[in-house]
């Protein structure tokens, strides 16, 4: 069985400061891991994915995530937050026939 835990339901940062959204996963197999972003009243957009290649994954809009097997983590980071980053972020763990979403982290960016 697989599961994913997003450690913070809400993160608030100031514009221009770093962003850290935390995700821990549990999987019996070597999983694929994803981060998706959802803006209000929109569908989910894929930010980045890890599929057992490089452990540091670069995504769109300056986001990146590092896969740490020893810590079973896949935290999402961005060096400098922009107002347009305000949204809901979902960490996802998948093993071919099973895909599990985290509960989501709402990112607020203050001017």
Partner 1 sequence: KAGVTQTPRYLIKTRGQQVTLSCSPISGHRSVSWYQQTPGQGLQFLFEYFSETQRNKGNFPGRFSGRQFSNSRSEMNVSTLELGDSALYLCASSLRNAGIGSGYTFGSGTRLTVV
The contact mask relative to partner 1 for 88-107 (x = CB under 8 A, - = no) is: --x-x-xxxxxx-xxxx---
Q: How far apart are CA 25 and CA 66, in angstroms?
A: 13
Nearer to partner 1, 33 or 81 (CB): 33
Please identify which residue in 11, 13, 34, 85 interacts with partner 1, judged by CB under 8 A: 34
Instruction: Select from 8, 44, 59, 72 the one that contacts partner 1 (CB under 8 A).
Output: 44
Q: Note whether 20 binds partner 1 by CB under 8 A.
A: no
Residue 49 near partner 1 by CB under 8 A: yes
Q: Least Å distance between CB 2 and partner 1?
A: 10
């Amino acid at each position: 069985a697989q599961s994913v835990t997003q450690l913070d339901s809400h993160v608030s940062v100031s514009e221009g400061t770093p962003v850290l959204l935390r995700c821990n996963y549990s999987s019996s197999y070597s999983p694929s891991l994803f981060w998706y972003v959802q803006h209000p009243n929109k569908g989910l957009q894929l930010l980045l994915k890890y599929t057992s290649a490089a452990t540091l994954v670069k995504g769109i809009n300056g986001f990146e995530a590092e896969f740490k097997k020893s810590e079973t983590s896949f935290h999402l980071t961005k060096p400098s937050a922009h107002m347009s980053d305000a949204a809901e972020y979902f960490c996802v763990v998948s093993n071919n026939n099973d895909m599990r979403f985290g509960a989501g982290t709402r990112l607020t960016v203050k001017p």
